[in-house]
Amino acid sequence: MVISYWLAAIVLGIFASGFIIGPLVVKPLFEKKRIQKDPHEQLDRVQEREQLNVRLYEERIAELSAQLEELEITAVDFAEMELELQKNLLVDTDEVGSETPVSEIGRLPLVFAALVPLFAIFAYSDIGLSWGAISDVEIAGELNSDGIHDPVRMKQTVEKLARSMEQQPDNHEGWFMLGQLYHRQAEYEKAAAVFKKLSLVFTGDSGIASYYAESLFLADNRVITSRVDVAIGKALALNPHELTMLEIRGMDAFQKGEYSAANQYFIAALAMAEGPRAKLIQQALERLETQTGVTGTANKTAPFASSAAMPTRPVSPKAETEPTGTRSLEVLVEVDSQVDVKTDSFVFVFAKAVTGPPMPLAVQKLLVADLPRLIKLDESMAMMEGMGLANFDLIEVVARISSSGIANASPDDYEARSGQIDITMPTSVVKLTIKNQIKSKLKNKPGG
């Protein structure tokens, strides 16, 4: 395949060089041969040019003589212009006499013709500008060959692809392939780095966010660390029905003894799964019921509405002892890269009633340095009895960076709001990106 590529490249290079060689070399050669066949033709052309130059000289002298008789020019002017015309006539006559075939133009066109394929090689190869895909063709050939089953050769190919991608930062398809290959080779940390790079470009792509979270999860030995927790939260915020993320949440909840949450996650995952994957999740639900007595909310052989099954993940070991009606929700809080605040500034995340007293129903206090962070708001965070999440159905979640260090809003604060949430319905992760300053909102209000 590579040999065919180079043969085609050489043929195209010669063809491209022909556009230079043709007009400047080939045509004059034909002209020279034609003159050699009829040498009198060249002599006739020279004589015609000489006669034409002499005729033009005589016409111009006649015009100047008429201007001198009409006193439009002086005798001095006439003499100067006559001398200039005579010089020009001599120069033109010499040029005509020394005229040679155009084929004697020298080596410059040949040099340029040779530079065309050389520049192409420099531009498209790895040793040059890497505009093209000579190395990509080789890599594609290796990936499609039998060598893909050889771990050593496969590793070499992946390393070659990684070097190629460093020279092609905007080749997103290539980067995605590299991330998948790293993942297939169990190099999860490298895979996570690639998918993180892509997630910063495709911020709304839940698939890439899921690949990133899964790679981190595997890199951290299948433990939901803080960075894995944030990544999973982002993926579920983009797509609450992301199958892999639901499975990971379910397994984690089961390992922590949070069986009701595990059951809900597996039910939600089953609604999205098909084929053998759905069968495995079904078996997990049956095993969960056998070992713990926790059952699903519907016949597991029937399809489930994933939105109704979507749980809010408990983070406390006491979750199984809490009342069935305990309300809580997860909030993923992050700050926009354009927001310029100190890392030790306080961040207040709170839920408040849409219609009711302004007092927060649940609140958590963080630092900007802690973001991004996945947190949980629940009934235990109520500031006073009867004023918690259990007492209001419609709420709004607010994340605010405080410039004063207190929860009360000031014009210099930055905040993000969720909009109205019906907490009586199962909810997915609420994603809040802090980027708007309060005083800018006040300016945009009518009469502000």
Token pair recorded at residue 102: 């155009």
Same domain for 190 and 332?
A: no
**Structural domains of the chain, count:** 3
CA 336 to the chain's CA centroid: 18
Per DSSP, what are the bridge partners of residue 377?
329
Same domain for 225 and 301?
A: yes
Same domain for 155 and 301?
A: yes
Q: Identify whether 132 is part of a domain.
A: no
Model pLDDT for residues 249-290, shown as the tens digit of each residue: 998 888 888 888 888 899 989 988 888 888 888 888 888 888
Predicted confidence at residue 164, as pLDDT, reads: 81
Same domain for 40 and 90?
A: yes
Same domain for 192 and 251?
A: yes
CB count in 10 Å sphere of residue 143: 15
Same domain for 345 and 283?
A: no
Mean pLDDT of the chain: 77
Is there a contact between 140 and 147 (Cβ–Cβ < 8 Å)? Answer: no
Q: At what angle do helices 206-219 and 172-184 cross, to 10 degrees?
A: 30
| Residue 398 belongs to domain with CATH number | 2.60.40
Q: Identify whether 121 is part of a domain.
A: no
Q: Identify whether 139 is part of a domain.
A: no
| Residue 255 belongs to domain with CATH number | 1.25.40.10
3-state secondary structure 375-431: EEEEHHHCCCCCCCHHHCCEEEEEEEEECCCCCCCCCCCEEEEEEEEECCCCCCCEE
Nearest in space to 337 (alpha carbons), one of 376, 368, 375? 368
Same domain for 336 and 395?
A: yes
Same domain for 270 and 239?
A: yes
Q: Identify whether 124 is part of a domain.
A: no
Same domain for 347 and 208?
A: no
Point out the least confidently predicted range of 121-125, 167-171, 278-282, 314-318.
314-318
Residue-wise DSSP of 268-322: HHHHH--HHHHHHHHHHHHHHHHHH----SS-TTS---HHHH------SGGGGGS
Q: Identify whether 264 is part of a domain.
A: yes
How far is 304 from 241, CA to CA, in rounded Å?
Answer: 12
Domain with 209 in it: 150-309
Predicted confidence at residue 320, as pLDDT, reads: 38
Phi, psi of 418 (to 5 degrees): -85, -25
Same domain for 196 and 55?
A: no
Q: At what angle do helices 243-255 and 226-238 cross, to 10 degrees?
A: 140
Residue 363 DSSP code: E
Q: At what angle do helices 206-219 and 243-255 cross, to 10 degrees?
A: 30
Provide the edge-to-edge strand list for the sheet that holds 414-422: 362-367, 346-353, 394-402, 414-422, 436-437
Same domain for 199 and 278?
A: yes
Model pLDDT for residues 338-382, shown as the tens digit of each residue: 999 999 999 999 999 888 777 789 999 999 999 999 999 988 888
Same domain for 154 and 88?
A: no
